[in-house]
């Protein structure tokens, strides 16, 4: 069932980092009102859709989004108001045509994605479905994803000296999403105790994980193993596994990687990962190498692709064309999926489809700057992609997504866990 756009409105609100972002409301004449909050990244890929920021130094250090809001309230509203659309992909196509650029920079990717997400909700409501149900059948059968809890933050997400950006807990062996979330919360609490017991800071980074004064990735992984055991869980792929996102584009300069004071070649980085994977149950590695290091990625994939899910984030930017190229070069084995990185829900679904058809995984993700919008939980469930990350099991904007998983699980009889590969 289609929608007729009656009203469209955007306003400038705050995200979880005290930076401005957009809240978009779409009213359809079928009696439906839908909203969306737009997320924003900090360690962004260079080929991401371009968000529009005012650049006025007298407001929010130039980060204001009044012009993006004005694009929704002016040009986009004028173009869509009174128009009927049969499908979300029709509406998204109208947005792309109106913007006219490859990277959404004219209207602003933040304006475009806010409208697209609100529209996705409106289409679901008009059809009498919840959001996750509206995605059902597009890819795999719906299932509850394994939440990946980012409990230690470094890189550009924290003021500590830890170079790797994210250290995650992945309760692969949990019996349900609710039990996985319980495990994440209990291990988070155990980790806090461990850190404080060692005189380390339990202060938080941008995604709600701890940001201790540790520089060595292996030391963090050792602590996580202890915290898992302390909380009464089994570390490993049948219990609680580990995952990492070094966000290594941020560490790459002049052909080498800066890690804990050392300068490593691509080969040395790959060796480091091989050793880590032998010592610790790391089942997923995201952005292990930089977005420009495609040759390195080919080697990394040949070396570890069978045993570890290798996720491309900065290197792919949720872009179906880039992912297709990666598939043909045997680069990575999965793609991160961030709707705002490509700019419309339809294109994010296209990226997921390209992955699905090639046997590549799809790892649905929040951004480091978030609102309480829980869209990604429904996207992960409805597409049956099997795993999702939304930061720590703490702080309202992170927990909103995990709590939405609990709510979906409570109301529907769906399987939990990674899909069978
Ligand atoms: P970002 O980081 O949202 O700051 O881009 C998240 C990630 O790298 O996965
Ligand atoms: Zn990443």
Helix extents (H) in 305-419? 320-328, 339-342, 345-358, 375-383, 396-411
Any ligand 1 atom below 6 A from CB of 247 = yes
Any ligand 1 atom below 6 A from CB of 390 = no
Residue found under tokens 């580990």: 242
Any ligand 1 atom below 6 A from CB of 143 = no
Q: What is the pLDDT of residues 177-186, one digit of tens each?
A: 999 999 999 9
Using CA atoms, how far apart are residues 77 and 171, in angstroms rounded to an integer?
Answer: 44
Using CA atoms, how far apart are residues 380 and 10, in angstroms rounded to an integer?
Answer: 26
Of the ligands numbered here, which is closest to the C-alpha atom of 287? 2
Using CA atoms, how far apart are residues 143 and 381, in angstroms rounded to an integer?
Answer: 5
Residue 240: C-alpha distances to residues 76, 169, 175, 228 (Å): 46, 6, 12, 7
Any ligand 1 atom below 6 A from CB of 370 = no
Using CA atoms, how far apart are residues 393 and 213, in angstroms rounded to an integer?
Answer: 21
Any ligand 1 atom below 6 A from CB of 368 = yes
In the chain the first and final C-alpha atoms are separated, in Å, by 33
Residue nearest to atom 1 of ligand 1 (CA): 41
Any ligand 1 atom below 6 A from CB of 205 = no
Residue found under tokens 């064309």: 321
pLDDT the model gives residue 420: 64
Of the ligands numbered here, which is closest to the C-alpha atom of 312? 2
Cα 272 to middle of ligand 2, angstroms:
19
Using CA atoms, how far apart are residues 418 and 385, in angstroms rounded to an integer?
Answer: 7
Residue found under tokens 């055991």: 229
Any ligand 1 atom below 6 A from CB of 42 = yes
Any ligand 1 atom below 6 A from CB of 313 = yes
Pair 313, 45: CB distance under 8 Å: yes
Judged against a pLDDT cut of 90, whether residue 68 lies above it is answered with yes
Cα 83 to middle of ligand 1, angstroms:
35
Cα 311 to middle of ligand 2, angstroms:
8
Looking from the CA of residue 44, the nearest atom of ligand 1 is 5
Any ligand 1 atom below 6 A from CB of 43 = yes
Q: What is the mean pLDDT of the chain?
A: 98
Judged against a pLDDT cut of 80, whether residue 327 lies above it is answered with yes
What predicted TM-score, i.e. pTM, was given to this entire model? 0.98
Cα 33 to middle of ligand 1, angstroms:
30
Q: What percent of the chain has pLDDT over 70?
A: 100
Using CA atoms, how far apart are residues 363 and 175, in angstroms rounded to an integer?
Answer: 20
Q: What is the pLDDT of residues 370-406, one digit of tens each?
A: 999 999 999 999 999 999 999 999 999 999 999 999 9
Any ligand 1 atom below 6 A from CB of 341 = no
Of the ligands numbered here, which is closest to the C-alpha atom of 365? 1
Q: Which residues pair with 262 in a beta bridge?
A: 259
Cα 203 to middle of ligand 2, angstroms:
21
The two structure tokens encoding residue 388: 């999702």
Of the ligands numbered here, which is closest to the C-alpha atom of 48? 1
Pair 82, 4: CB distance under 8 Å: yes
Mean pLDDT for the stretch of residues 286-295: 98
Output DSSP code: residue 248: G
Any ligand 1 atom below 6 A from CB of 19 = no
Q: What is the pLDDT of residues 332-369, one digit of tens each?
A: 999 999 999 999 999 999 999 999 999 999 999 999 99
Residue 403: C-alpha distances to residues 96, 135, 173, 196 (Å): 33, 19, 19, 27
Looking from the CA of residue 367, the nearest atom of ligand 1 is 3
Judged against a pLDDT cut of 90, whether residue 138 lies above it is answered with no
Using CA atoms, how far apart are residues 173 and 387, in angstroms rounded to an integer?
Answer: 13
The two structure tokens encoding residue 144: 């509850």
Cα 1 to middle of ligand 2, angstroms:
36
Looking from the CA of residue 42, the nearest atom of ligand 1 is 4
Cα 32 to middle of ligand 2, angstroms:
35
Cα 150 to middle of ligand 1, angstroms:
11
pLDDT the model gives residue 188: 99
Give 88's Cβ-side CA count (13 Å radius).
26
Burial (CB < 10 A; 0-12, 13-18, 19+), residue 381, is buried
Looking from the CA of residue 287, the nearest atom of ligand 1 is 8
Q: What is the pLDDT of residues 237-260, one digit of tens each?
A: 999 999 999 999 999 999 999 999
In degrees rounded to 5, what are phi and psi of residue 259?
Answer: -135, 120
Pair 92, 28: CB distance under 8 Å: no
Judged against a pLDDT cut of 70, whether residue 9 lies above it is answered with yes
Where in the sequence numbering do the catalytic residues fall? 207, 338
pLDDT the model gives residue 419: 80
Mean pLDDT for the stretch of residues 285-300: 98
Pairing of strands 241-245, 166-170: antiparallel
Helix (H) and strand (E) counts for the chain?
A: 14, 15
Residue 262: C-alpha distances to residues 221, 222, 404 (Å): 19, 20, 41
Buried b (16+ CB within 10 A) or exposed e, 180-211: bbbbbbbbbebbeebbeeeebeeebbbbbbbb
Q: What percent of the chain has pLDDT over 90?
A: 99
Pair 227, 170: CB distance under 8 Å: no
Mean pLDDT for the stretch of residues 410-415: 98
Of the ligands numbered here, which is closest to the C-alpha atom of 153? 1
Ligand 1 pocket mutation pick from 247, 317, 335 by most atoms within 8 angstroms of CB: 247
Pair 365, 392: CB distance under 8 Å: no
Strands (E) in 220-308, as ranges, are 241-245, 252-253, 256-259, 262-264, 282-286
Using CA atoms, how far apart are residues 331 and 353, in angstroms rounded to an integer?
Answer: 17
């Amino acid at each position: 069932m289609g929608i007729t756009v009656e009203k469209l409105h955007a306003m400038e609100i705050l995200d979880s980092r005290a930076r401005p972002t957009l809240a978009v409301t779409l009213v359809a004449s079928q009696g439906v009102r839908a909203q969306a909050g737009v997320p924003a990244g900090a360690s962004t890929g260079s080929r991401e859709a371009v968000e529009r920021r005012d650049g006025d130094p007298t407001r929010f250090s130039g980060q204001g989004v009044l012009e993006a809001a004005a694009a929704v309230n002016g040009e986009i509203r004028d173009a869509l108001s009174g128009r009927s659309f049969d499908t979300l992909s029709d509406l998204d196509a109208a947005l792309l045509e109106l913007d006219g650029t490859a990277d959404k920079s004219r209207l602003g990717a933040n304006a475009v994605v806010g409208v697209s997400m609100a529209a996705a909700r409106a289409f679901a409501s008009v059809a009498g479905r919840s959001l996750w149900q509206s995605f059902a059948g597009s890819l795999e059968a719906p299932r509850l994803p394994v939440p990946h809890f980012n409990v230690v933050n470094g890189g550009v997400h924290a003021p500590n000296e830890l170079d790797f950006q994210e250290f995650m807990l992945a309760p692969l062996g949990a019996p349900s999403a609710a039990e996985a979330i319980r495990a994440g919360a209990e291990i988070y609490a155990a980790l806090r105790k461990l850190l404080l017991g060692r005189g380390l800071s339990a202060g938080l980074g941008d995604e709600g994980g701890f940001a201790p004064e540790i520089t060595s990735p292996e030391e963090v992984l050792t602590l996580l193993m202890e915290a898992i055991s302390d909380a009464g869980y089994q570390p490993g792929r049948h219990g609680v596994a580990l995952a990492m996102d070094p966000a290594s584009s941020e560490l790459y300069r002049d052909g080498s990687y800066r890690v804990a004071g050392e300068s490593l070649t691509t080969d040395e980085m790959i060796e480091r990962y091989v050793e880590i994977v032998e010592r610790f149950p790391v089942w997923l590695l995201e952005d292990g190498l930089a977005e420009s290091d495609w040759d390195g990625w080919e080697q990394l994939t040949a070396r570890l692709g069978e045993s570890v899910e290798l996720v491309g984030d900065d290197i792919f930017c949720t872009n179906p064309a880039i992912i297709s190229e990666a598939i043909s070069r045997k680069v990575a084995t999965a793609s991160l999926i961030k709707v705002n990185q490509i700019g419309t829900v339809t294109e994010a679904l296209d990226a997921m489809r390209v992955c699905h058809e090639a046997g590549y995984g799809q790892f649905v993700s929040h951004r480091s700057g978030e609102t309480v919008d829980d869209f990604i939980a429904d996207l992960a469930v409805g597409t049956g992609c099997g795993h999702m990350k939304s930061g720590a099991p703490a702080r309202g904007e992170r927990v909103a997504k995990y709590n939405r998983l609990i709510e979906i699980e409570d109301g529907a009889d769906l399987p939990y866990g990674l899909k069978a590969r």
